[in-house]
Structure 1
Amino acid sequence: MLISSLNRKLLRDLGTLRGQILTIALVVASGVAAFVTTKSAYVSLRDARATFYTSNRFADVFATLKRAPEAVQRRLEDLPGVAVVDTRVVGHGSMPLETMTEPAKAIVVGLPLRLNTVHLRSGRMPTPGRTDEAVVSDAFAEAHQIALGDELPLVLGGVRRDVRVVGVGLSPEYVMVLSPGDMAADNKRQGVLFMGHDFVAAALDLDGSFNSVAARLTPDADEDAVLEALDRELERYGGFGAHGRDRQMSHFILSSELDQLQNMTQQLPPLFLIVAAFLLHVVLTRLIQLQRPQVAALKALGYLDREIGLHYLKLASVIVVSGASLGVLLGAWLGDGLVGLYEEYFRFPNLRSHVDPQTAITAILVSTLAAIAGTLTAVRSVLRLAPAEAMRPPAPATYRRGLLDARVVRMAVGPAARMVLREVQRRPLRLIFSAVGIAIAVAILVTGRFFGDAMAHLVDVQLHEAQRWDVQVSFAEPRPETSLRGLSHIPGVFHVEGLRQVPVRLRYQQRTRDVPLIGYPGDGTDGLQRPVDEEARPVPLPVEGVVLTRMLGDILELEVGDRVLVEVLEGDRPKVEVPVAGFVAEPFGLQAHMRFGALHELLGEEPSVSAALLRVDPERSREIDERLTDLPDVVGITHMDRVIAQFKEQSQRNITIFSLILTLFAATIAIGVVYNNARVALSMRSRDLASLRVLGFTRAEISAILLGELALQVFLAIPIGLVLGQLLSEQMATGAADPEMYRFPVIIAPRTYAFATVVTLGSAFVSALLVRRKLDRLDLIGVLKTRE
């Protein structure tokens, strides 16, 4: 098979430019890998969710209540827009396992279920009528290596009994298990048990009643209207407010993660492609200038402009397609690892990482289009060349004396430095674009480590300053404040404080939000839990009025002095207008804060608490847990040190992996820009530099001339990149999670800026070493020959 002359030339060019081609291909591969990684993880999670939700009949709306007779189910089924209703009994208990120092939290769901059905991984469903059999959630079973036939201790409704595990399963309602108030999922400390309805109802004193509702809607249903109707029907039975999927905890967190992946897919890859297009433009422009005689010869021999232009586009396409293909393979591998990380938190029966053909084709196509866009200017210059004009060397540039030629400047600046500055003065756009390319690498480095800084700040502010307790004890029902005295008598307990949390619906004009209203002793600044702002300063609570999370105020469009309607969703369910006294910029969730006195007056009740906060002796932690577990109505025991450890473990590992990948990608960009600019400059000025060597300049001096401009590019790029990194971090923080769940503060530590600077300088140094080797091999004999 014969190879055409242009294709042979293409192969020779590829061999000659192999170093530059490799660096450009790696930049393209980095961008494509970033796209394929996030896109494949997004598609895998999205498809697994859709399949699981459909096959196991995930509900559209949910509601919880104190108790309602089973006869109410028929009225709920008759509501307009409702297709299927499942009334259930759901309780919260604990599992005091011997392998743990504190009891694990248990969510106990009564069977059978019409909606949110259980997918069995192994075993079987509990036998109807049996009260000692359970299906345990897959994540909890895996964390504790629970096997079929094992027995688990369960405390539910204040009564302890042993239950036998007959199955391990998954539920679309608990794709991720996160108990209210927890900051991170912990599969070892929280699990779900599915047991017979009669047992759960009897344990919770709900015989003939239900306390939870799930419903599927008809295709034409108005969800808001259905939610209002549910609230009206369940209000008399102590309803806590109906909500759609968007407020269901597991679905909410999963949807936030999908949104974050989609944002990353749109934000990072374009930066790599912009740099790749710039590099291709620089390399091909210089290549065409060097190959002017060859282009002239090809035109004189009868090759059409279209054929010659297509030849250079083919060269760019080969570089990009090879890089994009490598990027697809790398992205598929990284995507598989990312899905593996997600699988620890989101449990599906069919979560598998895969790269769909559309994602791969899109990545390669977009990369190729970016390459063509970057090389069009260079290719057009080929088409404009007439054969006779191309035979001659380019006309010398027009130079004139400038500031650098002034006597004072010549005395202050050496010849090598003046050569560098003169080159920059003559080609400022090359300096600017090169600096921007390197600045993008710096910005990516800053962004890669920003999340670690933000997480460290969140831990310091929210966990060390806002929540200063050691142990939190949650009660099934509010208890009189005087009951806290018994806790203070437990050996090892130094101090006890009460906390009152009430579910409320805040209503202002047509806007509403269901949030917890938290009451604090005193002005809230000296307690074990207190509201603090972004600077970790405690916010004093006024005698009257409510203080809201700033995000909550923005959602409801409230200002200080406005009166918001507080609809309490428990007890006598009073509705009271309360003035907004202020806002606090909290990073987690949406809350409202009041003093104890104001809250109890609003509720019309005697002082009571729904949780107790303890300062304890860590050496007696296990003994304290045993005493707390035996108390009636205790449904949760949380240790702050373990919350912090779990939060750090999860976030630190993921952030470290994310930062490492972005560091490698950013270093690739920096090396690609610096190395290609150096190689292009060397190819264009090799004769001049060799001439200087013949005239007596040392290798170090000509290296300073060539690499001085590159150093200027790097030092100019670093401050620009640090500013771009700040802006990119702000953009990433906005899309990192649903702002109603948590808000990332844009906190960038000095060590992050230092890290980005060091990595960039290191990448530039490696590139300089590679080019210096080329300088040492300049042809000093060839330069003495006459150039025709």
Structure 2
Amino acid sequence: MGALNHKLLRDLWRIKGQAGAIALVVAVGVLLLVMMSGMISSLDETRRTYYERYRLADVFAPVVRAPEKMLERLAAIPGVDAVEGRIQGGALVEIAGQDMPVRAQIVSLPPWREPRLNGVYLADGRMPQAGRTEEVLLLRSFAKAHGLTLGDHLSATMHGSRRDFRIVGIAQAPEFLFTIAPGEFVPDDARFAVIWMNQDALEAAYDLKGAFNEALLKLERGAQVEPVLAAADALLDRYGGLGSYALEDQLSNRFLSEEIKGLRTTSSVVPPIFMAVAAFLLYIVVSRMVQSEREQIGLIKAFGYTDWEVSLHYIKLVVAIALFGAALGCAGGVWSGRLLAGVYQAVYHFPFLVFRVEPSSFVSGVAVSVLAAMAGGLLVLRQVFALTPAVAMRPPAPADYSRSGALNARLKRWLDQPSRMVLRRVVRNPGRVFGAVLGIAAGMGLSSAQLTVMSGFDDTLDQTFDVIDRSDVAVTFFEQMPDKTAFALQHLPGVIEVEPTRSVSAVLRHGTESYRGGITGLMPGARLSRAVDADHADIPMPDAGIVLAKALADILKVGPGDQIMVEVLEGRRPVLEVPVARIADTLLGAPAFMKLDVLNRELNEPGRITGAYLRVDAQAYPALFAALKDVPSVAGVSRKSDSRAAMKKLMDSGAGTMRFIMAAIAGIITFGIVYNTARISFGEQARDLASLRVMGFTQGEAAFILLGELAIVVFLAIPLGVAIGYGLSFLVAAGFSTDLYQISTDFKPDTYGLAGGAVVAAAILSGWLVKRDIEKVDLVATLKTRE
């Protein structure tokens, strides 16, 4: 081993505290990169395998009623590989001990064979036997939520008649990774069931003998989906086609895609921030080390070592620290990824999910960390090249402090000698102090941004369910109903106020952009379900035009005054061209609003509603739900408190879990940066502090001189950290926002106060650790010139 390599090992041991703090920053960045990239690839691979193994359709074509012979014509469409027809419908399920009825989707199973498409994974039990109309499969997540097992009985109201069923199997399916009740946008395992039963039983229940109301199409490899959608719509239009759609628009798949998209966005934003902080810290450490070792560098060069050899020594130093951090990060990324995989499997109801990291993730993690470290180290190489042996081996010229005489005289009146020494050191080294301030501010910015986003999740819930939605209960109907139905609801037990509404499925288009969703018709002056602007003021429904949620306006790339195309997917399926009147500040979903009578007029269907929002006396809930169970037209009942709890559960799981992980990591990083700053300052001043001790200063006075500078740096870093955190909060919030919900980023003084308090606490702990080192200093050894 060469002399410089021996020196490298000694240097690493000497700065082990600083090196460990920097390696921790690098490790965190690599951990997030490995964990998130592994999670993305695992979710992608699991989804692809699950979809292929159980033959999930590429195209879904709902229809009112079509004869089975149409399946042959659908199969003849160019690009179609396989076709399956099935029957599905809505139902209300009664759960023992629960007042409110639960919505369910009933799906048919073909007799005597496995489904060609959209297969079912049987988690427990067996398939229903042909001819046994009372036997059903129940979705595993719903069964688990209510404690239902094999052999239990269910009572459900289907198409106006009540039926009793026996559970013979517990199932999962790739099309129901998320279970979302019609008319809602929040998945909830406990409030929506999926039931599979024999096709002949459903044919009788829904009067669809020899017919189907949904066609499933699997495409050939490489086939274009758009021509198939157009051909399927053309064939099914005369039978009441409701608009075919591709797998990418299927609700469950859309939720999962949004989750993966959010992970990708977060992984592209957060790890680079940590790497940039690590590069900056390495720059500070190496540049100060070069300054403190100028005499050694001069001596090394005098012995014949070239500038490049000396520079390579310091590059090896930063690379060694980066590699150690990267190794820790890779191991931590695999460990944390496996833990997170269990969370994702439970949330998304995969029958299997194995966390697997591609080798490229490890390679990229190590490469990024090394490149970031080298970027920080290369910036100081010019200092090495600039040092000639003759100049470097001389002590540096003392600084000229003659101009500060008047300042010293003034300070003597107010400050004692140790305090003046602290202040002079800060004033005379502005560049070094600014670097320390910036490093701590960056750490505080990461923490405050995470805290702001965590608060933003709660704000999204509060604004949506307290400001925008003021109802207590929402009721939806199986089909369009006359508006006088709302008056009938007014007379149900406990109902204080009724506000009718209408929802229409539609595809909204603007240029090349499109979004499959719907339009909600609101009453003038709506009070229970409102459209609001950024200031939470009501947006009056215009007499002409449409009001879009901000998220939807961003997707379609439209603003007020622009024209959009609305392709209605029900009834006569008209195509409307309407202007955008306003942009609403909704935080959940991507809805579009129109005035109720204007929407009905555009559809040429006056006086029609599909649901209503109710304000209800809380004491009358049991009587109200019992009355709604006996109304055949009611498709579902949802309580706002249940929707809020489901939304919070969704935000706190899956990608939402990452915000807790990242907040904890940001706190660790903040401590690492503060501790590293204190260690660097101690390393620079160890000789000076030892000299002061010899001159008669006490340990407490010597510690005050060192820690006083840290206190000033922290004091200056906190306001800068607030500014950095505010800017970062928008980037982090954008990474967590999806089509389902948008995270608000309002300025919250308490979150920044908490982040600042964490920095102060980290400074106190770091100061205590460094003070212990001051007390252990060997004065004689420290005052010796290190060869």
Q: CA deviation at 1:31?
A: 1.6
SS in 1 for 2:484: helix
Contact 2:84 2:117 in 1 (8 A): yes
SS of the residue corresponding to residue 348 of structure 2 reads: coil
CA distance in 2, matches of 1:511, 1:128: 46
Corresponding residue number in structure 2 for 1:714: 714
Q: CA deviation at 1:256?
A: 0.9
Distance in 1 (alpha carbons) for counterparts of 2:306 and 2:575: 83
Per the alignment, do residues 310 and 542 of structure 1 end up closer, same or farther by CA in structure 2, a change over 3 Å counting? closer
Partners of 2:66 and 2:117 in 1: CA distance: 19
Deviations 1:236-265 (A, max 9, x none): 332232222221111111111111111221
Q: Which amino acid aligns with 1:746?
A: T
Cα distance between partner residues in 1 of 2:269 and 2:88: 42
Which residue does the alignment assign to 1:666? 666
Q: CA deviation at 1:756?
A: 0.8
Q: Give 2:352's aligned residue.
A: 350
Moved more, 128-137 or 410-419: 410-419
8 Å CA contact retained: 1:404, 1:418: no
Q: Find the counterpart in structure 1 of residue 438 from structure 2.
A: 436
1:317-716 superposed matches below 5 A: 317-378=319-380, 381=383, 390-397=392-399, 401-402=403-404, 405=407, 408=410, 411=413, 415-508=417-510, 512-521=514-523, 523-526=524-527, 528-652=528-652, 658-716=658-716
**Matches of 1:172 and 1:199, distance apart in 2:** 24
- Structure 1, 316-325 or 760-769: larger mean CA deviation: 316-325
One-letter amino acid of the structure 1 residue matched with residue 38 of structure 2: S
Q: Which whole-Å deviations, capped at 9, do the CAs of 1:527-551 have from their partners, x for residues lacking one?
A: x222122333222213344323234
- In structure 2, what is the Cα distance between the partners aligned to 1:214 and 1:680? 66
3-state DSSP of counterpart to 1:192:
strand
Q: Are residues 284 and 620 of structure 1, via their aligned partners in 2, closer, same or farther at CA, if it must alter by over 3 Å? A: same
Query: Structure 2 unaligned runs (5+)?
Result: none
686-695 vs 470-479, greater mean Cα deviation = 686-695
Aligned to 2:99: 101
Report if the CA contact (8 A) 2:92-2:101 is conserved: yes
Report the CA distance between 1:605 and its aligned residue. 2.8
Report the alpha carbon displacement of residue 427 of structure 1 after superposing the two structures with TM.
3.3
- Change in CA separation of 1:582 and 1:25 when aligned onto 2, cut-off 3 Å: closer
Matches within 5 A, 1:115-264: 115-264=117-266
The amino acid across from 1:445 in the alignment is S
Distance 1:96 1:744, change over 3 A: same
CA contact (8 A) 1:335 1:353 kept: yes
Matched, 1:74 2:75: no
Q: Structure 2 counterpart of 1:106, which letter?
A: A
Residue deviations 1:409-463 (CA, integer Å, cap 9, x gap): 6656665455444434443332232222212211211222223322222222221
Per the TM alignment, residue 512 of structure 1 is displaced from its structure 2 partner at its CA by 4.5
What secondary structure is seen at the aligned counterpart in 1 of 2:758?
A: helix
Q: Secondary structure at the match of 2:601?
A: helix
Q: CA deviation at 1:299?
A: 5.6
* Cα 1:140–1:397 shift into 2, 3 Å: same
Contact 1:23–1:668 (8 Å) recurs in 2? no
| Structure 2 partner of 1:772 | 771
Residues 1:562 and 1:616: Cα distance change in structure 2 (over 3 Å) = same
Read off the aligned partner of 2:281 and give its amino acid letter: L
The residue aligned with 2:49 is: 51
Is the CA contact 1:178–1:190 (under 8 Å) kept in the aligned structure 2? yes
- In the alignment, the residues of structure 2 paired with residue 46 and residue 59 of structure 1 have an alpha-carbon distance, to the nearest angstrom, of 17
User: 2:270, 2:557 → 1: CA distance?
Assistant: 33
Say whether the 8 Å CA contact 2:690–2:783 is kept in structure 1.
no
Q: Kindly tell me: are residues 247 and 786 of structure 1, through their superposed partners in 2, closer, same or farther at Cα, counting changes over 3 Å?
A: closer
Distance 1:63 1:440, change over 3 A: farther
Deviations 1:499-556 (A, max 9, x none): 22222344556655443222223x1333x22212233322221334432323434444
Contact 1:41 1:339 in 2 (8 A): yes
Distance of aligned partners of 1:557 and 1:782 in 2 relative to their CA distance in 1, 3 Å threshold:
closer
Name whichever of 175-184 and 650-659 sits farther off.
650-659
Q: Please state if 1:89 is matched with 2:87.
A: yes
Write out per-residue CA displacement over residues 612-652 of structure 1, whole angstroms, 9 at most, x where no aligned residue.
Answer: 32222323323322321232132211011111123234435
Gaps of 5+ in 1: none
CA contact (8 A) 2:347 2:654 kept: no
Aligned mates of 1:579, 1:307 — CA distance in 2? 69
Alpha-carbon distance in structure 2 between the residues aligned to 1:458 and 1:363? 34
1-structure distance, mates of 2:650, 2:579: 40
SS at match of 1:167: strand
* Deviation sequence 1:464-523 (CA, Å, 0-9, x none): 2222222212111112222334433333333333222222344556655443222223x1
Cα 1:428/1:604, change in 2 over 3 Å:
same
- List per-residue Cα deviations over 1:40-68 (Å, max 9, x = no partner): 22122111011111222222222322222
- In the alignment, residue 751 of structure 1 is paired with which amino acid? D
Asked if 1 retains the 8 angstrom alpha-carbon contact of 2:18 and 2:680, the reply is: no
State percent identity of aligned pairs.
Answer: 39
Q: Specify whether residues 30 and 88 from structure 1 end up closer, same or farther in structure 2 by C-alpha distance, changes over 3 A only.
A: same
Secondary structure of the corresponding residue to residue 347 of structure 2 = coil
* Structure 1 CA distance for aligned equivalents of residues 782 and 128 of structure 2: 89
Equivalence for 1:750: 749
Alpha carbons of 1:621 and 1:320: their partners in 2 closer, same or farther (altered >3 Å)? same
**Cα separation, 2, equivalents of 1:784 and 1:281:** 27
How far, CA to CA, are the matches of 1:292 and 1:547 in structure 2? 68
Greater mean alpha carbon deviation, residues 726-735 or residues 667-676? 667-676
Tell me the distance in 1 between the aligned counterparts of 2:507 and 2:32: 42
Residue 767 of structure 1: how far off its partner (Å): 1.0
What one-letter code is carried by the residue in structure 1 that aligns with 2:70? V
Q: Deviations over 1:295-317 (max 9, x none)?
A: 56656667676665554444433
CA distance in 2, matches of 1:458, 1:502: 25
State the alpha-carbon separation in 2 of the partners of residues 748 and 81 from structure 1. 53
Listed one character per residue, the Cα deviations across residues 150-183 of structure 1 (whole Å, up to 9, x for unaligned) are 3222322222222222222222211211223434
Q: 1:183 to 1:418 in 2, by over 3 A?
A: farther
Secondary structure at 2:443 match in 1: helix
| Structure 1 residues 208 and 516, CA gap change in structure 2 (3 angstroms) | same
AA in 2 matched with 1:644: R
Kept after mapping to 1: 8 A contact 2:262/2:655: no
Contact 1:143 1:188 in 2 (8 A): yes
Secondary structure of the 1:91 match is strand
CA contact (8 A) 1:667 1:763 kept: no
Q: Is the 8 A contact 1:451 1:655 kept in 2?
A: no
Instruction: Please tell me the residue identity of whatever aligns with 1:770.
Output: L
Aligned-residue offset at 1:10: 4.1
Q: CA deviation at 1:186?
A: 1.7
2: CA distance, partners of 1:500 / 1:238: 20
The residue identity in structure 2 corresponding to 1:175 is L
Letter in 2 for 1:672: G
Inter-CA distance 784–362: structure 2 relative to 1 (3 Å threshold): closer
Distance 1:355 1:218, change over 3 A: closer
Which residue of structure 1 aligns with residue 17 of structure 2? 19
Q: Per the alignment, do residues 423 and 269 of structure 1 end up closer, same or farther by CA in structure 2, a change over 3 Å counting?
A: same
| 2:607 aligned partner, one-letter code | P
Question: Which residue identity does 1:686 align to in structure 2?
Answer: A
Does the CA contact (< 8 Å) of 1:38 and 1:261 recur in 2? yes
